[in-house]
Amino acid sequence: MQSSVYAGSFDPWTQGHQFVLETALEVFETVHVVSAVNPAKQSLLKPEVRARVIAHSIDPFLDWWALDPPFRVGEKVIVTSQEGLIADYAKENNITHLVRGLRSTSDFEAEFNLYFSNQAINPKLQTWAILCPNHLLHCSSTYVKTVVGKPHVRSVGAKFIAQSLMLNWVRVIGQIFDLIETCSIHRFDIDSSNLTETDLNESLQLLFTALSYRILRISRSVMVKTSKYVDQFLKHHGSRLREEIRNQKTYPRNEINTLWAILAHCIEQDAIFPDGVESGVTYLLSLAKNLGKTTIKLFNEDEVNEAYENLKNK
């Protein structure tokens, strides 16, 4: 089928938005995801930043902050931002299908009115509504804004990079957490006896929140250095990891150890460690202890220490 446009404020992009996109991709050849400006909403993130977050959420193995929109994400998704009318964007790009997600009857009423407004501008533009599944009904941008950064919140419903930006924290730390989670998808294929994907997400979420509370400031020099580490990681491993994880379904243990080492190196530069903790690796492990529903450690201390030493020697 033809192309479609999936537009919204996406402030921020959530699991619900991801579901709508994945469903639309089952129907349309190409989906244009457009981060738009809604005059009725006060946005936390600028449209172009939201476009970068969306591209990263779909494919974290590329540094979207080094590129300019529109972003071509894979073969079927185009992500961009737009300050004008979506009906005009659709007309300019010869698109006649508008995708919308519905969670409730109030959403339907709003979309019903929007449909006729769009028809007045672009009569060829038809709306395709995708209904939200039960387990994502709570997952709105409003909900994310309410719970992000709160202690003991196990599931926010947005990528860590979006949470970092919303909290005015360090973007690259969220990027590292997202990469660790994405690279761990097939960890459970190897040993699922005491760990599930949900457990991992909850544990990472609790660790991320704990860090954001304890390390309020990371100096610019450390942020720049950490960003360079992540950029080098993506240049050397990004394309290969995307292929291996998605198609070969591998679990890249060594690369995950490197990501933990980069994170440890970053936080230990500006963190004030409690007594008995001498390194970023030990600090991370102490915070992660007994998080979530599992007794399995998030990482092996010896392996991450080795990766950390390799990182320092480069």
Domain ranges of the chain: 3-136, 148-313
The sheet that has 71-73: what strands, in order across it?
Answer: 71-73, 77-82, 30-36, 3-8, 97-102, 126-131
Distance CA 204, CA 308 (A): 20
Please compute the mean of the pLDDT values over residues 117-124 and round it to a whole number. Answer: 85
Out of 10-19, 20-29, 171-180, 297-306, least confident range: 297-306
- Confidence at residue 190, expressed as pLDDT on a 0 to 100 scale: 63
pLDDT higher than threshold 70 for residue 59: yes
pLDDT band at 232 (very low <50, low <70, confident <90, very high): very high
Mean pLDDT of all residues in 257-270: 93
Winning range, highest mean pLDDT, from 130-144, 154-168, 284-298? 154-168
Q: What is the mean pLDDT of residues 150-166?
A: 91
The reported pTM is: 0.92
**For the chain, percent of residues with pLDDT exceeding 70:** 94
Give 262's Cβ-side CA count (13 Å radius): 27
Q: What is the mean pLDDT of residues 99-124?
A: 81
Contact partners, residue 83, CB within 8 Å, separation at least 6: 36, 37, 47
Mean pLDDT of the 115-125 span? 84
Are 14 and 140 contacting, i.e. CB atoms less than 8 angstroms apart?
Answer: yes
Max mean pLDDT range (56-60, 203-207, 294-298): 56-60
Res 294 pLDDT > 70: no
Q: Which of 105-109, 178-182, 281-285, 298-302 has the highest mean pLDDT?
A: 178-182
Q: 117 falls in which pLDDT band (50, 70, 90)?
A: confident
Q: What is the mean pLDDT of residues 49-77?
A: 96
Mean pLDDT, rounded, for 7-23: 94
pLDDT at 187 over 70: yes
With a pLDDT cut of 90, the percent of the chain lying above it is 58
Burial of 95 (0-12, 13-18, 19+ CB in 10 A): buried
pLDDT value for 275: 81
67 pLDDT exceeds 90?
Answer: yes
Q: Mean of the pLDDT values across residues 138-143? A: 85
Fold classified for 3-136: Rossmann fold (3.40.50)
